[in-house]
Amino acid sequence: MRPRTLVLTLALVTGLPAASRAAGIDLSAHRLVDLTHPFDERTLYWPTSPSTFKLERLSYGATAGGWFYAANALCAPEHGGTHLDAPIHFAEGRRTTDQVPLEQLVAPAVVIDVAVKAAADRDYRLTRQDVLDFERRHGRIAAGTIVLLRTGWSRFWPDRKAYLGDDTPNDASKLSFPSYGEDAARILVEDRRVAALGVDVASIDYGRSKDFLVHRVAAAANVPGFENLAGLEALPPRGATVIALPMKIAGGSGGPLRAVALVPKR
């Protein structure tokens, strides 16, 4: 089978229209967009994280048998870089990383763009009115949709101070970056019943948050979060399909995420 004629069947994704589920998605008719920052020694983690990403070389070079062989060991906290927040991260008894249904990880996406507002106010929070304004222009957000918030912050990655608003070691009290607001989270999670909330900053709560209400609202409804996304500027407001697959950590509260989007060619 030739790669450009490969058809990706997403029959499991109940959020897709019936016609799309039946026909599948022809990859030759889509652009593939990587939404993931690479994991390396520059990967950003929450300031209070006791460790960061570490890659240890185990083997690299010719073997006694004459062939080349490379292998590494990796160590990293669950929450850092492009990653998933499982609902249990902020809600006791809710789903762990391995329990998040595929329907919430592979689904149609909308992108709400607040980059201009965030550029004027780095503590900007998406509002309920922003959501309603988006729906007035692009139509109601359907249940089962992955909502992505574009703040424009991925352009700062991996500059810790520019991205997080502060680079004081072991101190998360001075962070400053935009994200979702509680009222926006409630309409998306409780009224629109979205599959997931994603954002191109370090948290689905804005940097100065002390109560993490967006996390709590989402987690209570078993809605996961995708944080530190990249490349959202390449996605349209509607029409993309997101595939966001975390490392399947049994009992995990999150995990490294490889997220991509399929964008129809126009």
Q: What is the pLDDT of residues 174-209, one digit of tens each?
A: 999 999 999 999 999 999 999 999 999 999 999 999
The CATH class of the 3-44+78-264 domain is alpha beta
Residues in the chain, pLDDT under 70: 1-24
Alpha-carbon distances, residue 238 vs 111, 163, 242 (angstroms): 7, 27, 11
* pLDDT value of residue 26: 85
Query: Among 37, 79, 89, 215, which one carries the catalytic annotation?
Result: 89
φ/ψ (deg, to 5) at 77: -65, 160
Task: Provide the whole-model pTM.
Answer: 0.91
Q: How far apart are CA 239 and CA 170, in angstroms?
A: 40
Catalytic annotation present for 89: yes
